[in-house]
Amino acid sequence: MPVLLRGLKNLPIDLTALVTVADDGGSTGRLRHTMGMPAPGDIRNVIAALSDAEPMLLDLFQHRFAEGNGLTGHSMGNLLLAAMTSLTGDFFTGIKEISRVLNVKGTIYPISNQSMSLHARMTDGTIVSGESNIPLANKKIERIFLRPEPVQPLPNAVEAVRNADLVVVAPGSLYTSILPNMIIPQMIGALKHAKGNVVYICNVMTQAGETTGYTAADHVEAIRHHIGESCIDTIVVHNEPISQRVRNVYAEENASPVVYDTDRLVDMGLEIIEGDIINPSKTTLRHDTEKVANLLYSIIN
């Protein structure tokens, strides 16, 4: 999501980001445990992506302490979000205040204003609890779910999806970053009745422990399995070969290029938009922020 937002923030659009708060690893997990607050880590990265603050201030916001009693591993931005939550008594209000200080373009909503935990039921019937533990189980995922139940989404987030001219499902970890935002019943309803098209930007590479061997259609099938068939209108896929050098790097992590299986996507009734949408200059693949932003802007127009 931050990669996409860096390009989108420069366009003449009213931009809203809905961010997962189910992370439980590292600094985020420690703050969740000690303060009972929603996970701040993904919110922090989105704030940094949408901020027009001075580079030094953003470096400070993203700084992670390498040493210090009790500080090791903590990000300054996570601590600031925790402090502002404590000061204002509300996580969302804290996000708004920090966004104002850092001159954020657009609006950032946590998917919920409450702390939640992510769980997965595997195809062998076992349950794995905790966002950071799910990929480590290295089992095929049947379904994910959130606790406590029912999770109450932020009303502003639901309304934003319902009224948007374009709803973009950003690339990322399918089961632990993307779906947690989508499986809340009110959000499913908003997606089904969204005014604008719902566009899914498909991952370029598979992820070990989550989507090993998945094709593009498998990604969509997993989403439909959780939220129904009528929620995704369009899929954006990368259609250029991945270099062997990059493949070799990802093979060490048991990851491979996501196969673009056209026939299945067509049979699903999806509009398909394909193109060269990655940044080829790095061994770690990322969607090209300018290419994808311009593509999405052209869809709106």
Report yes or no: 215 and 258 within 8 Å, Cβ to Cβ.
yes
The larger pLDDT score, comparing residue 253 to residue 280, is at: 253
**pLDDT score, position 253:** 92
Residues 6+ apart with CB under 8 A from 205: 242, 250, 255, 256, 257, 258, 285
Give the span between the Cα atoms of 209 and 196, in whole angstroms: 33
Dihedral sign computed on CA atoms, order 129, 207, 39, 198? negative
The 3-class SS string of the chain reads: CHHHHHHHCCCCCCCEEEECCCCCCHHHHHHHHHHCCCCCHHHHHHHHHHECCCHHHHHHHHCECCCCCCCCCCEHHHHHHHHHHHHHCCHHHHHHHHHHHCCECCEEEECECCCCEEEEEECCCCEEECCCCCHHHCCCEEEEEEECCCCCECHHHHHHHHHCCEEEECCCCHHHHHHHHHCCHHHHHHHHCCCCEEEEECCCECCCCCCCCCEHHHHHHHHHHHHCCCCCCEEEEECCCCCHHHHHHHHCCCCCECECCHHHHHHCCCEEEEECCECCCCCCCCECHHHHHHHHHHHHC
| CA gap 97, 108 in Å, rounded | 11
Domain assignments of the chain as residue spans, ordered by start: 16-112, 153-301
pLDDT of residue 281: 67
The pLDDT score that the predictor gives to residue 264 is 96
pTM comes to 0.92
Give the model confidence (pLDDT) of 70-98 as tens digits. 788 889 999 999 999 999 999 999 999 99
What are the backbone dihedrals phi and psi of residue 257, each rounded to the nearest 5 degrees, phi first?
Answer: -60, 140
pLDDT at 282: 63
Alpha-carbon span 21 to 35, nearest angstrom: 14
CATH topology of domain 153-301: Rossmann fold (3.40.50)
Rounded-to-integer distance, Cα 109 and Cα 112, Å: 8
Please give the pLDDT value at position 186: 97
pLDDT over 70 for what percent of the chain?
99
Q: What pLDDT sits at residue 279?
A: 86
Contact (Cβ atoms closer than 8 angstroms) between residue 198 and residue 245: no
28, pLDDT greater than 70: yes
> For the chain, what is the mean pLDDT?
93
| CA nearest neighbour of 108 among 160, 146, 150 | 160
